[in-house]
Amino acid sequence: AVNYHDPSTPLLRSWFSDGGITSNFPIHRFDSILPRWPTIGINLQSTDETGTPQRLRLRTKEKGNFVYLTANRSAGTLDLWNMFDRERSGKSGRFGPDGRKLIGFLGSVFDSAQSWHDNAFLKLPSYRDRVAEIWLKPEEGGMNLNMSSETIKSLVERGRQAGKEATERFASLDKSDAMSWEGHRWARFRSGMPGYLEAAHELVEASRVGSPDCSSLHDLLSRLNVPPTYTFRNEQQRAAAEALTEKLLAFLKEAKNASRVCKDPADNRSGPFCDGPNPNVEYGSRPHF
């Protein structure tokens, strides 16, 4: 990379690493309020030291099946916890029980920084229904670089099963089924619109008056070169931007019910999108609970 800060060292060595450091499962990058095609994800999860997955359904009705896909709209909303401090049987190892807990805690801090954002999305409506989970035993995946051929074949079969179940859901289910592609698009729209309208509501409220010692949005749009940053190219562009913004704000002010924010329990049903899937999706790529 070019070193613009120190001419005596014109080039800097750049190291690249896996993008999972910042987002380990960025499925939210492949979506919209009303998606035109499905995006299907396969998420790897780790069992405990005994090889038991956290999902109750995999431990009871489907014992031995390590592929999980939500069966209905209410499934998949529970948190999956990193239980690093759980007591384990056997010798404590060279770090001792307290040392292992400290190492486990530090590892969980890194996992949270890496995956919290992704995991929050996986609990949202129309996100969790398109992600198949493959649960890995302690000797599978990760840093287990010496897996046997039988173990690898088992993982391949689990991946084939996960992909088959996820794609057949959207390709085969009838439109009337809540878990169908039609149901997925509808749930995404119903859960996304409240967040979008909340952002629109905030724009309307902020445009009415200026902040302390600041001009209103109307005053800013009426000038070509003040403030002297991100200026319009010419008067025609400025006038078009002003006209478009005024039309947008006028429309949002008219749609009072639609732009109403549904935070007051007493007004829960006052707007057309207030009584929708929960939690809502906040407009701007952040999950909102």
CA–CA dist 153, 150 (Å, integer): 5
Instruction: Quickly tell me which residue has 């609990």 as its tokens.
Output: 123
Q: Is 230 left (phi over 0), alpha (psi -120 to 50) or beta?
A: left
Q: Percentage of the chain surpassing pLDDT 90?
A: 35
- Residues 6 or more apart whose CB falls under 8 angstroms from that of 129 comprise 70, 73, 76, 169, 179, 184, 187
Q: In the prediction, which pLDDT does 203 show?
A: 84
What Rg value do the Cα atoms of the chain yield, rounded?
25
Q: Are 82 and 106 in contact (CB under 8 A)?
A: no
More confident residue, 89 or 40: 40
Read off the tokens for 280.
């809502």
Strands across the sheet with 67-68, in order? 41-46, 131-136, 67-68
Amino acid letter, 140: E
Angle at 70 between CA 64 and CA 71, to 5 degrees: 90
Q: Are 126 and 162 in contact (CB under 8 A)?
A: no
- Please report which confidence band the pLDDT of residue 227 belongs to, taking 50, 70 and 90 as the band edges: confident
Amino acid letter, 30: F
| The pLDDT of residue 68 is above 90 | yes
Amino acid letter, 66: F
Q: In the prediction, which pLDDT does 234 show?
A: 93
Residues 244-259 have a mean pLDDT of 78
| The pLDDT of residue 154 is above 80 | yes
| DSSP secondary structure string for all residues of 60-76 | TTTTT--EE---STTSS
Residues 82-95 have a mean pLDDT of 59
Q: Which of 118-122, 172-176, 261-265 has the highest mean pLDDT?
A: 172-176
More confident residue, 54 or 91: 54
Q: Which of 87-101, 226-240, 261-275 has the highest mean pLDDT?
A: 226-240
Residues 223-245 have a mean pLDDT of 91
Amino acid letter, 97: P
Identify the burial level of 228 via C-beta atoms within 10 angstroms of its C-beta, where 0-12 means exposed, 13-18 middle and 19 or more buried: exposed
More confident residue, 92 or 42: 42
CA distances from 230 to 113, 224, 225, 226, 227 (A): 34, 10, 9, 10, 8
Amino acid letter, 280: N
Q: In the prediction, which pLDDT does 193 show?
A: 81
Read off the tokens for 203.
């724009």
- Beta-carbon count within 10 A of 6 CB: 8
Query: CA nearest 40: which of 121, 125, 132?
Result: 132
Read off the tokens for 136.
């890995």
Mean pLDDT for the chain overall: 82
Q: In the prediction, which pLDDT does 245 show?
A: 94
More confident residue, 215 or 95: 215
Query: CA nearest 49: which of 93, 114, 18, 79?
Result: 93
Identify the burial level of 272 via C-beta atoms within 10 angstroms of its C-beta, where 0-12 means exposed, 13-18 middle and 19 or more buried: middle
pTM assigned to the model: 0.79
Instruction: Quickly tell me which residue has 């800097």 as its tokens.
Output: 12
Q: In the prediction, which pLDDT does 281 show?
A: 57
